[in-house]
Amino acid sequence: MKVPLLDLKAQYKTLKNELDEALIRTAESQYFILGPEVEKLEKSMCEYLDCKYAIGVSSGTDALLIALMAIDIKPGDEIIVPTYSFFATAGVVSRMNAIPIFVDSNPVTYNIDVKSIENKITSKTKAIIPVHLYGQSAEMDEITALAKKHNLKVIEDGAQAIGVQYKDGRKVGNHGDIGCFSFFPSKNLGCFGDGGLVITNNDELGAKLRIMRVHGGKPKYYHKIIGGNFRLDAIQAAVLNVKLPHLDSWSEKRRKNAGLYTKLFMESGVAGKEGITEFSSKEKVLLPGAIYKDSGFKNYHIYNQYVIRVQNRDDVRKHLTEKEVSTEIYYPVPFHKQECFASLKSRFENTSFVNSERASNETIALPIYPELRDEQIEFVVETIIQFISFIK
Ligand SMILES: *Cc1c(COP(=O)(O)O)cnc(C)c1O
């Protein structure tokens, strides 16, 4: 049975008329840069995310970059990031000539291990970038408490987590100084190309981000600060304006799919309960742990990815590929092992990254997109179980 990792055409089909109309409307207006569609999106996002300022930008990566520019990161500043994330989280730090300081991940959530942050803080540390990986909030109470104690800024990388509620009910992106989001097509809310968003509840940062998005000029051609071209295209905003009202129902379907995966794996008898992190003779599949499930809030996890851990991961993946099930490895190489960061090695020689290294060797992301059918999920689980029973 063919099970793609993602099927964007299935989603497009359900909204084709409205989306096509939005594209044509933009073409007919010939209004391509910022303008009314972007303003409408920003207003809707302020409501949806319950934040004071939302500013559309050119991508999730640029959202992180403009955030670091807005908090005045200087060359040589140290910024704490999880070693296990998408490259942009650390890449933007180096692009500011600042130094990413890598921290191991939590074995249950794969988010930054909050217990390992404090002994990485030095007099040069200026910020922490927690990532809400796979669609689940990082431990923001602990992170913001540390930031307050050491006078650090917090930039949230919510690229995979738009609409996720932390255990206090507030949506992620609101807990730090600036929240960053991506509308890359594979995220829960994707546009027809690149797009992103920064949010803040701070008046000064809100005003600054807005000016920095257009090269830092206000009025136009008069520059007190230096920004860049970080603009969101009107055409992307038009697409997002059509899609945003459906985001929660898509995330709900992802949660339902995740629930089915978990149920089937549990019934198979070879999976550990959610949150178990050690393999045993019985527990051969480790399931994702949703630590805020009992918060009482619906959007405790939006499952941008459903990630399990298996031993012999590469063999399992090869077998799934042979059976036409597409999977992905997020992420095979943690930052501390990336060639481009080799010059930073002396800074983390004595740091343990055991959880991140295990994750990079053992995790596999299964198809989880909203339009996935139950039979497809059943097939994926059966295929994995069969193979795992065979290799034991
Ligand atoms: C996708 C992603 C980004 C970058 O977003 P782009 O829109 O692709 O630039 C940053 N961080 C994380 C964790 C992501 O998943």
- CATH number of the structural domain 8-103+111-245: 3.40.640.10
Sign of the four-CA dihedral 28, 33, 39, 42: positive
> How would you class 119 by CB atoms within 10 Å of its CB: exposed for 0-12, middle for 13-18, buried for 19 or more?
exposed
Is omega for the bond preceding 222 within 30 degrees of 0, making it cis?
no
Q: What is the percent of the chain where pLDDT is above 70?
A: 99
Return the number of other C-beta atoms located less than 10 Å from residue 25's C-beta: 14
Name the CATH architecture for the domain at 247-388.
Alpha-Beta Complex (3.90)
Q: How far apart are CA 293 and CA 281, in angstroms?
A: 28
- Return the domain boundaries, the chain: 8-103+111-245, 247-388
**Dihedral of the alpha carbons of 249, 254, 259, 262, in degrees to the nearest 10:** 180
What was the pLDDT predicted at 66? 98
Tokens read off for 51 = 């934040």
pLDDT, tens only, 34-71: 999 999 999 999 999 999 999 999 999 999 999 999 99
What was the pLDDT predicted at 275? 85
Sign of the four-CA dihedral 203, 207, 210, 212: negative
CA angle 355, 126, 196 (to 5 degrees): 75
Give the number of the atom of ligand 1 that is nearest the alpha carbon of residue 132: 13
What was the pLDDT predicted at 42? 98
What was the pLDDT predicted at 391? 62
State in Å: Cα 291 to ligand 1 middle: 23
In this chain, the answer to whether the domains covering 8-103+111-245 and 247-388 adopt an identical fold is no
What was the pLDDT predicted at 341? 98
What was the pLDDT predicted at 389? 84
Q: How far apart are CA 43 and CA 264, in angstroms?
A: 41
Give the number of the atom of ligand 1 that is nearest the alpha carbon of residue 186: 1
- Taking Cα atoms as reference points, which of 146, 157, 169, 181 lies closest to residue 58? 181
Outline where the chain has alpha helix (H).
8-29, 36-49, 60-70, 88-95, 140-150, 203-212, 234-243, 247-268, 313-322, 345-348, 354-362, 374-391
Any residues with CB less than 8 A from the CB of 9 and at least 6 apart, and which? Answer: none
Residues contacting ligand 1 via CB (< 6 Å): 59-61, 85-86, 88-89, 131, 157, 159-160, 182, 184, 194, 196
Q: Which residues of the chain are modeled with pLDDT < 50? A: none
Best of 184, 194, 331 to mutate for ligand 1, by most ligand atoms within 8 A of CB?
A: 184
pLDDT, tens only, 151-181: 999 999 999 999 999 999 999 999 999 999 9
Global pTM value: 0.97
Any residues with CB less than 8 A from the CB of 155 and at least 6 apart, and which? Answer: 64, 67, 68, 71, 127, 128, 129, 176, 177, 178, 179, 180
pLDDT, tens only, 312-335: 999 999 999 999 999 999 999 999
State in Å: Cα 86 to ligand 1 middle: 6
